[in-house]
Structure 1
Amino acid sequence: MNCYFATVARGLESVVARELEGLGGRDIHLDFAGVHFTGDKALLYRVNLWARTIFRVLAPIREFPCPDAQALYREVQAIDWAEYLTPGHTLAVDATGLSPALNHTHFTALQVKNAIVDQQRKQTGERSSVDSKSPDVRLNLHIHQDRCILSRDSSGTSLHRRGYRPAMGVAPLKETLAAALLALAGWEPEMPFLDPLCGSGTLPLEAGLKSLNLAPGLFRSHFGFLTWPDFDSQCWEDLCQEAHSAALFHLRAPIFGRDQDPEVLKLAQTNAERCGLEDHIAFACCTLADLEAPAPTGVLLCNPPYGERLGDLRDLEPLYKLLGDVFKQRFKGWTAFILTGNRELAKRVGLRTAARIPVYNGALPCTLLKYELY
């Protein structure tokens, strides 16, 4: 068994822990903005392929004290790097966290890179080149107090970049956050789903992928582990084939996306086509004032603007009041959720909340408001 660390959005650790448990992770325990778990190499590949709420999966190489830059260099040089990369591999190092002696992440990453390439030069006369954008091997050094954890990044780029969404609206949700919101809302594929302010379609599309049991990683062209020296191509091929075979052909309940902007709906349709959902998600142009419940019961979830990036607060107050009015008058039997980063705007909904769930949208503290509509 190997130890792994999934990096996640702050506040979503428990959601990710449940997902990892469902994928077969063991020894799961939560940390700040991450979840530790153990498993074999196949699980590492499976999590990258199937995880809907995780940013990256790190595979720790070594943990060691690093009171200063010299100690960091010595400890990194003590690792036999021939096991992890050859001079023919390109390399990148990301550093996170700070200590009093290592308080500049670029310098810290440079120390790690220098220790590795100096070892390579001494042993072979050659060294890896640096490729910060798409390296063969991406390393992550995390500093906490005066200790470091050095890991290989198995994902390469953040897993929220599914690969299906080149077309984005003005302020799109990350796919990982959209998937987490669906989980926090308790939505299951057997329930009708509606986003009345769908924009470029992230929430309906993530619901569609889950409903059809489509692994989000199938749309990506690259993962970090694909260029590792110990990559098991047969294991990966088997997992991809298994994922293709697991996909369903029909939604278990309808999924709807509505927006009043026909241009942004074109983006949603483009994204749906790129992940094979164009015949499954019912997108339609509709103003909020004209919105009607498309089924007797279901889950409604939306991410209206809340003044951080879109719209002026005063201009947004009527939108929130209208949301509350439409919910109350036309969605009896439904459960509705609003993600907002503004407490004052939330008050304009005018309905009693059944729950208030803290969520971060990037660095912005938000609340997922739940309304039981009777």
Structure 2
Amino acid sequence: MNQYFATVARGLEAIAAEELEQLGAQAVKPEFCGVSFEGDRALLYRVNLWARLPFRILMKIHHFPCQDAEDLYRGIHSIDWFDYLTPDLTLAVNATGKNDRLNHTHFTAIQVKKAIVEQQQERAGERSNVDTVAPDVRVNVHIDRSGCTVSLDSSGNSLHRRGYRPAMGAAPLKESLAAALIQLSGWQPDQMFYDPLCGSGTLPLEASLRALNIAPGLFRERFGFETWPDFDLPLLEDLLQEAEDSQKHELPAPIWGSDRDENVIRQAIANAENCGVEEHVWFSCTELADVVAPADSGILLCNPPYGERIGRIGEMAAFYKLLGDVLKQRFKGWTAFILSGNKELAQSIGLKSSQRIPVYNGALPCQLMKYELY
């Protein structure tokens, strides 16, 4: 069993742990901005392919006591790097955390790189080149009071970048946060899903991928582990084939998105085409004032502008009031969820929420507000 750590957005640790357990992870433990778990190589590949909430999946390779730069160099140099990184492969180092004597992540990363390449020079007479953009092997080191944890980043580019969304609106949600909001809402694929402020379509698209059982990793060009010396191509090919075979061909219930902006609706349609769901999810150009419930019941989930990102606070207050009026007058029988990073604007909705779930959108503390519409 290998030890892994999934990095996730703050506040999503518990639901990310649930997702990892469903994928077969063992010894799952939520921690700050991440989840530790155990499993074999097949699990590592499967989590990268299927998990919708994490940013990166790190594989722990070493931990050692570390108080200063000398301890750091010695500990890194003691690892047999030829098991993970041959001189023909490129390298990047990402450092997080700090202690009293190692309090600059850039310095920490330089020390780690130095220890690795000097070991290579000593043993082989050549060393890996550094590539900070698309390295073959990305090393992650985390410093805390008890020492240094060394991991390899198995994901490559952040997993939230699915690969289907080159077209984006002015303030797009990360795909991983969209997936988390859908999970927090309790929406099930047999319920209608509607986002009346869909922008470039991230929420309806993530809902459609989940409803059709499409693995989000299918859209990626590659994973970080594909350039590791022990990469098992037949295993990955089996998992990819298994994922493709498990896709569903019809939605159990409609998934809709609308927005007032014709340009972002075109972007949403292009993104739907990129992930192969253009025949399933429906997008329309519709003013919020003209929105009506397309069914007797369902889940409405939206991410309206917060004022800090788009528009002025006064204009936004009127917009939020309109949103509340539309929900109250036209969506009886539905359950609505609204993500807001501005409490004053949220009050302008004029409805009493039955639940408020704290969520972070990047560094911005937000609330996912639930409204039962009777």
Which TM-score band applies after superposition, normalised by the shorter structure?
A: over 0.9
Which residue pairs with 2:123 in the alignment? Answer: 123
Deviation of 1:99 after TM superposition, in Å, equals: 1.4
Instruction: Give the total of aligned pairs.
Output: 374
Q: Deviations over 1:231-263 (max 9, x none)?
A: 111111100000000011111110000101111
Which residue pairs with 2:266 in the alignment? Answer: 266
Deviation of 1:64 after TM superposition, in Å, equals: 1.1
Q: Provide the rounded CA distance (Å) in 2 between the counterparts of 1:167 and 1:83.
A: 40
AA matched with 1:365 = P
Q: Provide the rounded CA distance (Å) in 2 between the counterparts of 1:100 and 1:233.
A: 43
Which residue pairs with 2:35 in the alignment? Answer: 35
Any residues of structure 2 matched to 1:173-252 within 5 Å, and which? 173-252=173-252
Q: Deviations over 1:313-340 (max 9, x none)?
A: 1110011111111111110110001000
Deviation of 1:174 after TM superposition, in Å, equals: 0.1
SS at match of 1:49: helix
Q: Provide the rounded CA distance (Å) in 1 between the counterparts of 2:12 and 2:308.
A: 21
SS at match of 1:225: helix
Any residues of structure 2 matched to 1:1-374 within 5 Å, and which? 1-374=1-374
AA matched with 2:295 = A
SS at match of 1:152: strand
Q: Provide the rounded CA distance (Å) in 2 between the counterparts of 1:341 and 1:266.
A: 27
AA matched with 1:224 = G
Q: Provide the rounded CA distance (Å) in 1 between the counterparts of 2:101 and 2:310.
A: 40
SS at match of 2:89: coil
Deviation of 1:196 after TM superposition, in Å, equals: 0.3
Q: Provide the rounded CA distance (Å) in 2 between the counterparts of 1:196 and 1:219.
A: 26
Q: Provide the rounded CA distance (Å) in 2 between the counterparts of 1:189 and 1:71.
A: 52
Q: Provide the rounded CA distance (Å) in 2 between the counterparts of 1:306 and 1:110.
A: 39
Q: Deviations over 1:178-208 (max 9, x none)?
A: 0000000001111100000000000000001
User: Structure 1: which 5+ runs fail to align?
Assistant: none
Deviation of 1:144 after TM superposition, in Å, equals: 1.4
TM-score, L = length of structure 1: 0.99
AA matched with 1:292 = V
Q: Provide the rounded CA distance (Å) in 2 between the counterparts of 1:359 and 1:272.
A: 26
User: Structure 2: which 5+ runs fail to align?
Assistant: none
Deviation of 1:146 after TM superposition, in Å, equals: 4.5
Deviation of 1:369 after TM superposition, in Å, equals: 0.4
SS at match of 1:327: helix
Q: Percent identity between the aligned chains?
A: 64
Q: Provide the rounded CA distance (Å) in 1 between the counterparts of 2:130 and 2:92.
A: 6
SS at match of 1:367: strand
TM-score, L = length of structure 2: 0.99
Q: Provide the rounded CA distance (Å) in 2 between the counterparts of 1:353 and 1:269.
A: 32
Q: Provide the rounded CA distance (Å) in 2 between the counterparts of 1:48 and 1:182.
A: 19
Q: Provide the rounded CA distance (Å) in 1 between the counterparts of 2:314 and 2:63.
A: 51
SS at match of 2:253: coil
Moved more, 208-217 or 138-147: 138-147
Q: Provide the rounded CA distance (Å) in 1 between the counterparts of 2:146 and 2:246.
A: 46
AA matched with 1:116 = I
Runs of 4+ in 1 over 3 A off after TM superposition: none
Q: Provide the rounded CA distance (Å) in 2 between the counterparts of 1:363 and 1:48.
A: 24
Q: Provide the rounded CA distance (Å) in 2 between the counterparts of 1:226 and 1:322.
A: 50
AA matched with 1:217 = G
Q: Deviations over 1:285-310 (max 9, x none)?
A: 11111101011110000000011211
Q: Deviations over 1:116-138 (max 9, x none)?
A: 00000000000000000000000
SS at match of 2:332: coil
AA matched with 1:293 = A
Deviation of 1:145 after TM superposition, in Å, equals: 2.1
SS at match of 2:10: coil
Cα RMSD, aligned residues only: 0.6
Q: Provide the rounded CA distance (Å) in 2 between the counterparts of 1:98 and 1:195.
A: 42
